[in-house]
Structure 1
């Protein structure tokens, strides 16, 4: 199926469901990861509740609610839970930065998650580190990989060529589609980054995506995680992150806005 047909098909599906007038939720962990969105927001209304700040309004023609979740899996899970209990949320898009672990990724490149998983929910034996599936509140096993919504993935693929991304160090950003690994650790270790790619075929690593994905999965809400690489999760990551997080975050937001524009 060509990109034009994909775009028309996805547009039909979203148009058909838009009559429900639910809001699309957009979440980022840090202020830099949502600022361009909140600056663009029309008919802005700010709601402070639950220790969180919600930004309601419209981007393009879409009703949205934007939220800064805070850093880490606990904050992401708490924020996502409060978000979906307070608003009628039809979809959730997480936007932000990450460490790229794909060997061909560079700062500025983006990873659209086909799925997300917890790389630190594991059994650490004497000679083995075994990543496990989480359980829900009833004690039933969740999937090891929380899959992104197929329609949101199709839509993301269909708009990439229309978006002008900011170059970082003269590098024109690429967009990868692949797994994203989540853990409560800022990864700045070359060997660990290689391990995530080798063992799980992960393209990037960050600290919130799988927590949001798990809450969305357990509440039957379609989601998508979009990450722009601020670094390569290697021994240099703590330096690159501070230098590139702002332009990287803005590139991820440009892709989110491109998706919203075509819904």
Structure 2
């Protein structure tokens, strides 16, 4: 065997050993659907129907494997906020064999046609606070000359921008604002929407004034801020055509896009992001919204092939 042949064989051996080492470091080798919840009530509701349960811990965060809706899953909480959600999602992708991701939780409604209790499964998600804080001038706000204007109008000094994303299998970054939901999972959500009835009352909670519904399609946006402002809600509707906003979904969509893993988010409206007549309703309707979101997730798992 010549020197070059021996070197090539050594390289192949080292690559194989490295791959084996990475695999050995995983907590679980079974391909699973990641079911990610933003808040504990929904996570608890999903665990009630989980079989073959096993617990794992990464950086203080609990990950629970098992079977739910006839599928092998790993359940975990994202933590509230874009950074927590992105960090936790990447940890899961590194430690488990994840074939798709369902993210779910409560959210603020933006579209005036929607009501508290409705569940939105958006076509795509954007990060509305990826932005430039523009310089104030006598005529308004001005972007730096080296940053050309993106596709969206600003809200005062806050001017949204797309973000560069490196992706598995790609040599160059792509610039994106919208991160798309998986088409096959969206189709499964449409089937669920056609036959699942949502709850309109929850134990120790108020009942809704009208039956909630599942809406599949449209846009969702996420950012680091909890929004309880009617004017900003109108801006989000006008600028992004968003039906819903939250603090995690687009971050998880970003991470799954970078890892080339199918993604879908299910968001149940607990409040109207400042669009209600009185004080924010989240504390009143969080339990009901969490229950409906969990029920949609379980139905979705059963519907997936």
| Pairwise TM-score range, normalised by the shorter structure | 0.7 to 0.9
The reply to whether residue 192 of structure 1 matches residue 232 of structure 2 is yes
Residues 133-160 of structure 1 deviation map (CA, whole Å, 9 limit, x = unaligned) = 1123588243110000000000000121
Aligned residue number for residue 9 of structure 1: none
- Larger deviation, residues 37-46 vs 94-103: 37-46
Q: TM-score, normalised by structure 2?
A: 0.76
- Point out where structure 2 has 5 or more consecutive residues left out of the alignment: 1-28, 142-153, 201-206
Residues 51-97 of structure 1 deviation map (CA, whole Å, 9 limit, x = unaligned) = 21001100121000001010000000100000000000000000100
Q: 1:243 aligns with which of 272, 284, 299?
A: 284
Aligned ranges for residues 120-131 of structure 1 at < 5 Å? 120-125=129-134, 126=136, 127=141, 128=154, 129-131=158-160
In 1, distance between residues paired with 2:162 and 2:275? Answer: 29
Aligned ranges for residues 5-84 of structure 1 at < 5 Å? 22-84=31-93
In 2, distance between residues paired with 1:206 and 1:60? Answer: 26
Aligned residue number for residue 165 of structure 2: 136
CA RMSD of aligned residues (A): 1.8
* SS class of match (1:40): coil
- Point out where structure 1 has 5 or more consecutive residues left out of the alignment: 1-19
The reply to whether residue 117 of structure 1 matches residue 126 of structure 2 is yes
In 2, distance between residues paired with 1:202 and 1:163? Answer: 24
**Aligned residues of 1:73 and 1:208 also touching (Cα < 8 A):** yes
Question: What is the Cα deviation at residue 30 of structure 1?
Answer: 1.6
Q: TM-score, normalised by structure 1?
A: 0.88
Number of matched residues?
A: 244
Aligned residue number for residue 156 of structure 1: 189
